[in-house]
Amino acid sequence: MTVTITDVAARAGVSIKTVSRVINNEPSVRPATRKKVEDAVKALNYQPNLAARNLAGSRAYTIAFIYDNPNAYYVIDMQNGILEACKAQGYELLIHPSDSKSPTAHRELKQLVDHSKVAGLVLTPPFSESESIIETLDQLDVAYVRIVSKAVQVAKADNCIQVDDAAAAFELTGHLLALGHKRIGFLCGGEEHVSTHGRLEGYRRALEQVGLSIDESLILRGEYSFESGVDGAKKLMNGDAPPTAIFASNDEMAAGALFAARLMNIEIPGQLSIVGFEDSPFSRQTWPKLTTAHQPNNEIAKCAAALVLSKARGKTSSEGGTGSQESAIQREFTPELVIRDSSGPAPGL
């Protein structure tokens, strides 16, 4: 027999409306009453019908995850983190891949908000770093949170979860410098991602700090892909004065660089050190395993989802009271250095 909200209300000795408020995590329920309802829900194994709840009434119970990123591991980590936060608060997740370069991207987002009945959106780069996209969302009056590189200049920081790519890249480059490397190649990711510029900034700053001049021939443009890492490493290592280390802007590129080095019979790390960024499974599936910067994408995603849910409730609740919830959410992350076997002393040391 299916358990209904009426059964929960009867067991807890409260009204159906009170049960609904508890299920929706609204702040206007006394702790003792909330506990009675939660105990009844658990005892009866009540499962709210989230799809039906979205169709009924004017309030939405779905969060949309907007992305345009070729890195499947990044997307999966983000998806899982957002989904975990949504489940904890009784919301569903709508996953919406899109082409950020498409001339119809703005119209597509507007249609999503207008027709899919979403409570809020979590945006990842490059969508989150596009000011024109943000202007469109502001006009729609929808709750949203941007996951962005700290290098992005934002007007409303309270809508952002920031990642300090530059600080992490500075530390990674410093690790290579400490190993005696003076010629360090840098493989850039896609230009449309501000993280690319933040990571390059950290690399440049680390070289300047130790008094090394920056050789622009060692900095190659590319994309966040395995193939781009292969091509970039081949170009660097076939140059007149090849580097003794390569900093790839993500682990997928670093894995490609490592593959290219093997094809060229270059010993890693004896003849060439390679480092990546993000600490994705790519960094642990190569041989040797990659030195990288651990970026906690799952935790970043959970914080972004918690923040957008708090903002969505602020838009729909007459009680307000979301400020303290938002202030408890971590807003800034700095990826941390993870040293593995792909980095070693510069040749001759």
* Count of CB atoms situated within 10 Å of the CB of 324: 9
Residue appearing with tokens 């950020």:
100
Q: How far apart are CA 198 and CA 165, in angstroms?
A: 5
The confidence score (pLDDT) of residue 252 equals 95
For the record, the structure tokens of 154 come out as 């934002």
Tell me whether residue 334 is exposed, middle or buried, using C-beta atoms within 10 angstroms of its C-beta: 0 to 12, 13 to 18, 19 or more. middle
CATH of 59-163+296-333, one of 3.40.50.2300, 3.90.950.20, 2.40.160.20, 3.30.360.10: 3.40.50.2300
The confidence score (pLDDT) of residue 320 equals 44
Look up the CATH architecture of domain 5-48. Answer: Orthogonal Bundle (1.10)
Superfamily of the domain at 165-295: Response regulator (3.40.50.2300)
Beta-carbon contacts of residue 222 (< 8 Å; ≥ 6 apart): 187, 188, 189, 190, 228, 229, 231, 232, 249, 253
Please list the residues that pair with 123 across neighbouring strands: 66, 146
Q: At what angle do helices 194-209 and 165-178 cross, to 10 degrees?
A: 40
The confidence score (pLDDT) of residue 324 equals 58
Beta-carbon contacts of residue 277 (< 8 Å; ≥ 6 apart): 165, 168, 169, 172, 199, 248, 249, 250, 251, 254, 292, 293, 295, 335
SS3 113: helix
* Count of CB atoms situated within 10 Å of the CB of 232: 26
Tell me whether residue 103 is exposed, middle or buried, using C-beta atoms within 10 angstroms of its C-beta: 0 to 12, 13 to 18, 19 or more. exposed
* Count of CB atoms situated within 10 Å of the CB of 283: 26
* Count of CB atoms situated within 10 Å of the CB of 184: 25
What Rg, from alpha-carbon coordinates, does the chain have?
A: 24
pTM: 0.79
| Domain range list for the chain | 5-48, 59-163+296-333, 165-295
The confidence score (pLDDT) of residue 328 equals 81
SS3 251: helix
pLDDT averaged over 10-residue windows placed end to end, the chain, 349 residues: 77 81 71 86 73 49 84 89 88 86 85 80 91 87 90 79 96 98 96 92 97 96 96 96 97 97 97 97 93 96 94 61 69 96 92
The confidence score (pLDDT) of residue 165 equals 96
Domains 5-48 and 59-163+296-333 share a fold: no
